[in-house]
Amino acid sequence: MSTVTLCCMRNLLAACRATKTAYISGHLRKYTCPQLYRTFSTRPTVACDRKFTVEQLRSKYKSSEPITAITAYDYPSAKQVDVAGIDIALVGDSAAMVVHGHDTTLPITLDDMITHARSVKRAVRRAMIVGDLPFGTYEESPTRAVCSALRMIKDGGADAVKLEGAIEPRLSAIRSIKAAGIPVMGHIGLTPQSINALGGFKPQGRNADGALNLVENAMRLEEAGCFAVVVECVPEVVTLAIRGAIDIPIIGIGAGRHADGQILVYHDILGLTVHPHHAKVSPRFCKQYAQLGDDAIVALETFKHEVVSNVFPGAQFCPYVMGGDELNNFVTGLQKLGLKTAAEDAKDYL
Ligand SMILES: Nc1nc(=O)c2c([nH]1)NC[C@@H]1CN(c3ccc(C(=O)N[C@@H](CCC(=O)O)C(=O)O)cc3)CN21
Ligand SMILES: CC(C)C(=O)C(=O)O
């Protein structure tokens, strides 16, 4: 390890101590990539235990600080999202497609979503956890919506919920969920749960009427009490107009540069969606910051090659040994059992 890296690491560990983030320092010590140390060492206080709340989101928005959000469906990914200092971990119903292998988000159940949320909850210290209400759990009535939202909070451990659309009775549902003390995030533009009505995962708001409708929908969501709104797959001029029309943060996905924050799918940005099934729904707006899927395949192929060629496990990966006395007793015991070959083989270890 270079002197620079060691120095960065020392600063980081000191900062972690100062901010009482012992678990982070333990975590970082395991990293071997100097670049990661450097990245973290420039903002060592990010991974603190202070929860990122709706209030803090609001103050970031008010001071025009960009908001960051990434999907998380399980413990390890949520841990990484949290350690990286991402503001919002969205337990998105995209899990249906990304980790359950469905073609749409429609089949995932509230129970599935709660299981995902619980794993995320165990990992997260700082990030705000927003849980998606899946298709079929909130549309028909505000009462049903409140029940689903309460389960997402009580059983899933989420801090807030997200639901799609801005027409009645969803606006009433948003009001009722908010009245139950649960913050609600809206979602307009490409709303994947309406795929059958939209005719595909198509960009929205590309004609004047559609764009105006989106601006009005955003205003309705604000009026109904949403603390933020996801705007998905729209021309950035529409995002700009929405921004001028509402006073709650816009979290954009494929919505251009004028959103107050950006959200992407964890598996997309890490290049984990390499299978053709995934590739066909890998959106064009997504930037890949790593190619972990390719790395995974290389690692798995190497494991396979090493097993079939008897390279793995070498002596290095056979950590369990029997002490001399016990081994003697073992050999004698095998002989008593009449297992001569086994006893001879075991003697090699004496
Ligand atoms: N892995 C993943 N990433 C996502 O961002 C994501 C999901 N899954 N699943 C739920 C929704 C679906 N999303 C998508 C999926 C595909 C396109 C896409 O490829 N759109 C094409 C147009 C397709 C058409 O016209 O039919 C494009 O050119 O943008 C966009 C958003 C965004 N969400
Ligand atoms: C892509 C984001 C916004 C989402 O709704 C999801 O992951 O389900």
Q: What is the pLDDT of residues 150-175, one digit of tens each?
A: 999 999 999 999 999 999 999 999 99
Domain extents in the chain: 1-45, 50-288, 296-347
Ligand nearest to the CA of residue 103, numbered in listed order:
1
CATH architecture of 50-288: Alpha-Beta Barrel (3.20)
Q: What is the pLDDT of residues 324-340, one digit of tens each?
A: 899 999 999 999 999 99
SS3 annotation, 51-116: CCCHHHHHHHHHCCCCEEEEECCCHHHHHHHHHCCCCEEEECCCHHHHCCCCCCCCCCCHHHHHHH
Residue 59 to residue 239: CA distance in whole angstroms: 20
Q: What pLDDT does residue 50 have?
A: 87
Angle at 252 between CA 249 and CA 256, to 5 degrees: 120
Residue in this structure with the two tokens 């929908």, named with its chain if needed: 217
Residue 274 has a pLDDT of 73
**Which string of b and e fits 175-193 if b means at least 16 CB within 10 Å?**
bbbbeeebbbbbbbbbbbb
Predicted pLDDT at 324 = 86
Which residues form ligand 1's pocket by a CB distance below 6 Å?
94, 97-98, 105, 190, 192, 200-203, 233, 265, 267-268, 273, 281, 283-284
pLDDT tens by residue, 187-206: 999 999 999 999 999 999 99
C-alpha–C-alpha distance, residues 287 and 264, integer Å: 9
| ipTM of the complex in this document | 0.96
Say what the pLDDT of residue 117 is.
99
Ligand found nearest the CA of 233: 1
- Prediction pTM value: 0.87
The parts of the chain modelled with pLDDT lower than 50 are 1-45
Contacts of residue 213, defined as CB under 8 A and 6 or more positions apart, other chains included, come to 205
Determine the pLDDT at residue 48: 60
Distance CA 61, CA 59 (A): 5
Tell me which of 201, 274, 275, 277 to substitute to probe ligand 1's pocket, judged by most ligand atoms within 8 Å of the beta carbon.
201
Which residues are known catalytic residues?
Answer: 232
Please tell me the predicted confidence (pLDDT) of residue 337: 98
Considering only CA atoms, which of 14, 69, 89 is closest in space to residue 44? 14
Best of 100, 105, 195 to mutate for ligand 2, by most ligand atoms within 8 A of CB?
A: 105
Coil/strand/helix, residue 159? coil
pLDDT of residue 279: 63
